[in-house]
Structure 1
Amino acid sequence: MEPTYSAEAALVDLKERLRRLRTERRFSMSGLEMRAGVSHTTASQALNGPSVPSEATVIALAQALGTDATPLLTLRKQVVGAPAKGLRIHADLQFGTLAEDAAHEAMGTPVHVQHERDVLLKEVLVRVTVVNESRLPVQITAFVVEAWDNEALRSFDLLPEPLPTMVEPRSRIVLRVQKEPIDSLDAITFIGVVDGLGKRYGLLAEDIRALAAASWALPTRVIAARRRDDPSYMVAAFQTRTPVEMDQKPVPDGTNPPEVLATRTMLGLPVPDFLRLDELSQRTGNVEPE
């Protein structure tokens, strides 16, 4: 029977066993990578990096090294079975100075702000701070905004710089993303980050409501637009400023939908045109941005 370790010790032991086996087999790293059919980065991270190798990677390396994968997978399970705790997420809006000639290309949303007697052009971004208060490094792979929409979950997975990245123990990273993914949705169910193992770390419900209320109360670059190939069909559109994956998936039968944490109606805010597409589809002519 394999001994039981802490998650930290199990990860150290897993990597030490892989390194020892490579040395015993007298394989170079390139030779191991070729035999296992994995990339240099994948093999290097599995043997020497701070991240947890995937189950498929452990099996491939074990086969290449001519050893039973079961003890290695048991160690990996002990690591994954004790996911990092103490990952704290905070998000707010950040206002920065913006030149008039840079407004069109800015990552943040241009807004005019009254400052004493002057009206200044500012760039608004969502600032996300991720603090790792655990004793294990955590790989953050995406910033996620999710909402309940037409009996399905609609989500944006954004990859602002420096994602994906490792957040070392007792350290933090700061992400800056455009606010349009939040603006384009209603009935928000989740805002937070996801790690390399698929575990999600979200803002508290009150923090989601505060962030959504602040973002929705400001101008946005989301518009209701007619498709060129079918002018009768309306879509909510905005230009993405960072790599993003969009998804919409129904909730499986028998599964309760997630709790809705923030809607414009809940917060006493008007519903914008781009959320009333069925109504707008009956109109003629162009639809102007708000």
Structure 2
Amino acid sequence: MTDATTSFLPHRAALIGLAYRMTGSHATAEDIAQEVFLRWQGTSRPDVERPQAWLMKAAARLALDHLRSARVRRETYIGPWLPEPVPDSREAPQEAAWAQNETVSMAFLLALERLSPAERAIFILHDLFDTPFAELAELLNKSLATCRQMAVRARQRLDEARPRQAPSAADGARLADAFLAATQTGDETALRDLLASDAVVHTDGGGVRPAALNLIHGGEKATRFFSRLALKRDAVPAVLYRGRINGAPGFVTLEADGLPQAVVLEIAQERIISVYVIRNPEKLRSLSAALST
């Protein structure tokens, strides 16, 4: 193992976690981490006083470049956009040193999407990875005061996305199993009992697979949506995974088209308040690979 590899590997998981929170894509985060490694190999490492800071700033620059290039694609994205799902069994972004489930939850990642790239970078690097404001000012070419103000604004906007009191792991698994069974059979009574009256359903097909083009608001509309889907099926989808995804209860099924589908649930007060259905095949490759190992 080379010196570059030995000094890089302890930081790899954190780099992926940073880039994942910045981009919403685990595949992109892994690509960014690999590019940072290549740059680390090519730099004069003995001259780097703080390797972790150097690596984190390099990853942040690459993530910012990605966000700028992805902006146009996001604006033309077909239907709701959701982050790439990651099962909690993955090494990153749930690496123990900085695993904060609420900061990889679907709701929180969507809230990060509503921040400007600079606000997102400042919040993630400072609040989650303890990067000093002085370094952020240099990275973003902004004044120290501006960086502090942007951090305050980001925190205020993100506070609303902080999860309500989450259920225990056992309760979450129980509700996820009940929801899976109800959606497979189209049991409207069970669905009404499980879904909050103000539940919201997000479905991301990316224009590649059938999905609702708009958010579905309200428990009653969501009940009818899942009931109708069940009636259209010729067979019950096989279950590939039950467990936690992005820090929340979820499951993965193999659908009639031969492709997986991931469902992540946000639960509060014994009711499902948000359902995230990821069907875009591009966003399921990393998850499928993780489940096959």
Larger Rg: 1
- Looking at secondary structure, tell me which structure has more helix per residue: 2
TM-score by length of 1: 0.28
TM-score by length of 2: 0.28
